[in-house]
Amino acid sequence: MYFCDKYRIVEKKAIASDIYSYIIKCPEVAGIVQSGQFVNISASGHTLRRPISVCDFDRENGLIRIVFEIRGEGTREISRLREGDYIDMIAPLGRGFSFLDDAKHVALIGGGIGVPPLLSIAKHYGEKAQAVLGFKSFDKVILANDFAEYGADVTICTDDGSSGFKGNVLPCFENVLNNEKLDIIYVCGPLPMIRAISEIAEQKAIPCQVSLEERMGCGVGACIACVCKVKRRDKEMFVRVCKDGPVFNSKEVIF
């Protein structure tokens, strides 16, 4: 079930270079949204909507939060909306992450603008979560304090070493692996990062859920623009990232 409507932006913040956080009042969406689902936003002057993950939600107050980076004309147009303006969106969409009831240690591995959908997982697991978050440089670092406020142990890495550890998330993730017996891993970010973490998860037999990005048309499963290849019951098949994902079990994705 999803809604298509215009909702009021109650808070707009620039949180890093070209990266914005919007809190949106949308009680019916906030009431049913799950971690890892996304919203499809209309950008003025553009036919296709832009998919953006739900970063956090507050059911009691009817709020959702999105965090997005300006990547092109569509996201630039969306970034021109101001506090008090109405944002036109279809939400909530897709299949989100699932949680392990008895997990003691979980890892959240995020890269760049793949970090936002992991925040509500950190909220769910609190101190059981180890977050390893990678960015290009210090001016792109986002949400580190938000993860820490939810109780997660946070490690930051940057490609150029301008904040946290120098390099990508893999060495820091391996450090987590050596110190904790992980019950589950959640990953979102660039494809090479997702692939590398999925391979390690497979070798160590740790369940791993990945959130994939594909270019989308309709966002609701009708146009087949967003397919990716998976293996289910020994058969290779194409599934729709917008409707069957964006979250998948890493074992079934054919990278």
Ligand X SMILES: Cc1cc2nc3c(=O)[nH]c(=O)nc-3n(C[C@H](O)[C@H](O)[C@H](O)COP(=O)(O)OP(=O)(O)OC[C@H]3O[C@@H](n4cnc5c(N)ncnc54)[C@H](O)[C@@H]3O)c2cc1C
Whichever of 107 and 216 has its CB closer to ligand FES, that residue is 216
> Residue 215 CB, nearest distance to ligand FES (Å)?
8
Rounded to whole angstroms, the Cα distance separating 155 from 143 reads 12
The interface mask with ligand X, positions 47-66, x = CB under 6 A, is -x-xxxx-------------
Give the number of residues in contact with ligand X, rule: CB under 6 A. 21
Rounded to whole angstroms, the Cα distance separating 61 from 52 reads 21
For residue 92, whether the previous peptide bond is cis, meaning omega lies within 30 degrees of 0, is yes
DSSP letter assigned to residue 78: H
**Within positions 213 to 232, which residues make up the interface with ligand FES, using CB under 6 A?**
216-219, 221-226
Give the number of residues in contact with ligand FES, rule: CB under 6 A. 13
Rounded to whole angstroms, the Cα distance separating 252 from 155 reads 28
Element at 121 (helix H, strand E): helix 119-125
> Residue 220 CB, nearest distance to ligand FES (Å)?
7
Task: Take residue 158 and report the two structure tokens written for it.
Answer: 């940057």
Could you say whether residue 75 binds ligand X (CB under 6 A)? yes
Instruction: List Cβ neighbours of 60 (8 Å cut-off, separation of 6 or more).
Output: none
The one among 240, 247, 248, 250 contacting ligand FES by CB under 6 A: 240
Tell me which residue has tokens 């092109």.
72
Residue 47 burial by Cβ neighbours in a 10 Å radius (0-12, 13-18, 19+): exposed
> Residue 76 CB, nearest distance to ligand FES (Å)?
21
Whichever of 51 and 92 has its CB closer to ligand X, that residue is 51
Helix, strand or coil for residue 20?
strand
> Residue 93 CB, nearest distance to ligand FES (Å)?
9
For residue 207, whether the previous peptide bond is cis, meaning omega lies within 30 degrees of 0, is no
The one among 242, 246, 248, 250 contacting ligand FES by CB under 6 A: 242
The one among 5, 73, 160, 174 contacting ligand X by CB under 6 A: 73
Rounded to whole angstroms, the Cα distance separating 161 from 156 reads 10
Could you say whether residue 48 binds ligand FES (CB under 6 A)? no
Judged by the rule CB under 6 A, the positions of this chain that interact with ligand FES are 216-219, 221-226, 240, 242-243
Judged by the rule CB under 6 A, the positions of this chain that interact with ligand X are 38, 48, 50-53, 67-69, 71-75, 113, 116, 213-216, 246
